[in-house]
Structure 1
């Protein structure tokens, strides 16, 4: 009998957890041809998430949990869950029921009967999402696929069922600055995309503001592409050429017609433009340098305070 591990990162999901467990329990019991374990990861929640996980672990022997010492972010939560999972297959899903557990039988069938290493989900609609957020999300997917080797499908969710071999490949990538959507695409393996209509949160509020998503997209670009560095180099070269041409024009104009009026407006425009470009390029370099600095520290991605076996 195959064993499937359900990895569920949680951050302040007190309201959604009981509903998620009820639905996941129903679906997994219908899939009686498989054994299951639930691996919940409490990402330093400040509400009643951890007490609920303790209660679930006491009444259901399939439930395990890992509780962090503080909030380390969803990426660390997914990594901890994958490391703790013991199943032949591992499924990643959110606790807010935006990743419907009812899709699990279809994902399992795709992996076991259709020859895929991974069955992943993608949203076909973005109903309920602000239009500006949807616009920037689509722009990000187009950009990241053009400038990197990571194959990221528009509307892709983290919700997926993977063979153990793919999980081990993902865990072999030990970088501190993780961008899982890019990692899933970079490791390859044969993936089937399962479309579904977007589902809104069953309870609670989203933890992803527009600003957090924007920073997360920058993480992905920096983690999987050096194109910004190339753009900065090309931009610097082009501006040097333009500056040289402009100097020649000024010299010819001054020698031929003199300089009756000081060119303060044009001078300020050039200075501000070049200064802005320099700061922009320095910022790009700073992003890569900051990531390198964090990688060289070799800090753990997360620290565990408690599991279903007790406080560490």
Structure 2
């Protein structure tokens, strides 16, 4: 039999954890009927939750000490850190990443397993169709992000791809070996390559609780992905600065020629102030882009850990 390690990041998901375990256990049992095929390893990661998430994990571990394990952070470090912690704790020949809210249907696991075992894939990812109840604005911003990043990045990220995927040990070990502090898993999973395919599924409602992602967090996450996997913003700043410089030369020549042929210019301090503000805005815009990249370099050079584990079993 092959061991499947299930990495499950959790943040304030006390209601979802028991439902997740019962649902996935039924799927694993179906995979072992009539012939035992896989054995599960559950790796729950508590990302500094403020509710009884850790308590639920401990109870599951006490009931199933051989198959259920958990890691609890000292504070909230974010989902990317939780993913990294979970992947590093796995021991199975195959590793799945799943959300605890059951929006990632466990029923796909048998098909994902078959594709890896029979078709030789190293990774089987998933693409979720438009989420039920998702606002048009959120859907538009999401699709726009994928269009933008796939145009400016050398790494193609499948639109609407989820973190939900099943991977081989070699694939996971390669992902773990990447040392960067700033992590954008969707980009990393694509960057490492290997033989990958995707399954599409209909959106599922949350099993319990509410989403912890708002538009501001999603926007920040998108900026993170663009900066981590593209230097296009730096090129944009260079082009904006160059165009501004060229336009200023033409403007200077115009002023000199006008002064020599027509005479002194009529006082026009409002337009002068407007131009100064325009040039100053461009400079600050370019400095802001540069600052984002310098910030990433600064965080990398500190060599701080991605997370701190307070408790684990």
User: Normalization by structure 2: what TM-score?
Assistant: 0.96
* Offset at residue 268 of structure 1 (A): 2.1
* Offset at residue 260 of structure 1 (A): 5.7
The residue correspondences of 1:225-264 to structure 2 (distance < 5 A) are 225-259=230-264, 261-264=266-269
> Gapped runs of 5+ residues in structure 1?
none
- Equivalent-residue separation in structure 1 for 2:29 and 2:79 (angstroms): 28
- Equivalent-residue separation in structure 2 for 1:207 and 1:260 (angstroms): 59
* Offset at residue 133 of structure 1 (A): 1.2
- Equivalent-residue separation in structure 2 for 1:207 and 1:259 (angstroms): 62
* Equivalent residue in structure 1 for 2:91, among 86, 90, 107: 86
* Equivalent residue in structure 2 for 1:108, among 106, 113, 128: 113
Secondary structure, aligned partner of 2:125? strand
- Equivalent-residue separation in structure 1 for 2:187 and 2:78 (angstroms): 17
Matched residues, number: 308
Q: Does residue 45 of structure 1 match 2:49? A: yes
Aligned to 1:213: 218
> Gapped runs of 5+ residues in structure 2?
none
Aligned to 1:34: 38
- Equivalent-residue separation in structure 2 for 1:240 and 1:305 (angstroms): 53
* Offset at residue 254 of structure 1 (A): 2.6
Over the aligned positions, Cα root-mean-square deviation in angstroms equals 1.1
1:178-209 Cα distance to aligned partner (Å, 9 max, x none): 00000001000111110001112121111111
- Equivalent-residue separation in structure 2 for 1:197 and 1:235 (angstroms): 42
- Equivalent-residue separation in structure 2 for 1:76 and 1:24 (angstroms): 23
The residue correspondences of 1:108-147 to structure 2 (distance < 5 A) are 108-147=113-152
- Equivalent-residue separation in structure 2 for 1:36 and 1:144 (angstroms): 36
Q: Does residue 7 of structure 1 match 2:7? A: yes
* Offset at residue 302 of structure 1 (A): 0.7
Secondary structure, aligned partner of 1:65? strand
- Equivalent-residue separation in structure 2 for 1:266 and 1:110 (angstroms): 65
Query: Does the 8 Å contact 2:130/2:139 carry over to 1?
Result: no
